[in-house]
Amino acid sequence: MVEAIIEVDGLVKHYPLTQGVLFKKQVGAVKAVDGVDFVLNKGETLGIVGESGCGKSTVARMLVHLERPTAGLIKYKGEDITGLSGRALKAVRRNIQMVFQDPYTSLNPRMTVGDIIGEPYEIHPEAAPRGDRRRRVQDLLDVVGLNPEYVNRYPHQFSGGQRQRIGIARGLALRPEVIVADEPVSALDVSVQAQVINLLARLQKDFDLSYVFIAHDLSIVRHISDRVGVMYLGRIVETGRDEEIYDHPTHPYTQALLSAVPVPDPEAREHRERIILSGDVPSPTNVPSGCRFRTRCWKARERCALEVPLLAVPAVFRHVPGPAAHDSACHFAEETRVVPPEEPAGEAPDDLDEGGA
């Protein structure tokens, strides 16, 4: 049976914009995350992809309570953990750990590797007896592929890939059930990326972990993920199993993202239609009404400006089993045409305004 370990319902994070020095007045808000829903099942990897600024990292930070949600719910094993604090939050954090994006700034340069990996035991002393901590730290170094004798070295004595392995070891110290990985390989060389991804895949099996894997590299997400959620401007616009998303995308934004993935086969590259989106991503302080992607979408019509599309299986696919039957937040997801020949990609109809709601 599939067991949900993390459930996110209507997650919102708005950062207020203020004016004035002495008497600050709120004049707006940055809508970094604006209604995100997803479920992470036990033992699986949920990949969240999207371009920079879409809210991926903010979602990750809210899952581990480094940011407090403005609204919405986060449930861990069916229990609402959104507003926890003190000892209750400390207990939950032991089971939900994070691996950060930058291995150069996420490790304290003044601490040895042994102190960095062993610090969780100082915060949660019940997790390991004091006399056994050094051995456990050395075991963790060995698990992530580093020499246990490096326990007294400092972060500057390691390469980027090795530093990220140290960050992973720190995340494993308390034997968590969930790891939130916020773009863990984006700062690494391509060859090192593959090594770290393979390490994460092996650790998932060895430690029975569930991953929320944040990235903007679609090929990496496909390699490691069981299910994928595509984010655009603070919302998830399409979600499904990896083969559903990559082989049968139904949302225009997902189609545009996948068309930009490099293809090594020259013949296949010649027959693939590249979708070039016009314009820039709208500001999160003034998002378009209705569908947020409509100002760049070739399918956009009047309905797109008036109604917010729900993240659901398109009506035409609800009674037709198959890979196309997955959730998509598009009024016209059932249309099979990718780019109409008479309309250049990315242009919206002239009768739709470009402003926010």
**Secondary-structure breakdown of the chain: helix, strand, coil percentages, each rounded to the nearest 5:** 35, 20, 45
Note the pLDDT tens digit of each residue in 306-333. Answer: 999 999 887 666 666 666 678 999 998 8
pLDDT at 320: 64
Q: Write out pLDDT tens, residues 227-252.
A: 999 999 999 999 999 999 998 899 99
- The two tokens of residue 162 are 């090795």
Mean pLDDT confidence for 45-72:
94
Percent of the chain with pLDDT over 90: 65
pLDDT of residue 269: 62
Q: For the chain, where do the domains classified as CATH 3.40.50.300 start and end?
A: 4-15+29-225
Indicate the fold that domain 4-15+29-225 takes in CATH.
Rossmann fold (3.40.50)
Q: What per-residue confidence (pLDDT) applies to 190?
A: 86
> What secondary structure does DSSP assign to 61-92, as a single string?
HHHTTSS--SEEEEEETTEE-TT--HHHHHHH
Spatial separation of the C-alpha atoms in residues 306 and 292, rounded to whole Å: 11
Quick one: pLDDT band at residue 337, thresholds 50, 70, 90? low
Residue-level pLDDT at 14: 95
Residues 265-286 have a mean pLDDT of 79
Instruction: Assess whether pLDDT exceeds 80 at residue 51.
Output: yes
The pLDDT value given to residue 267: 66
pLDDT band at 54 (very low <50, low <70, confident <90, very high): very high
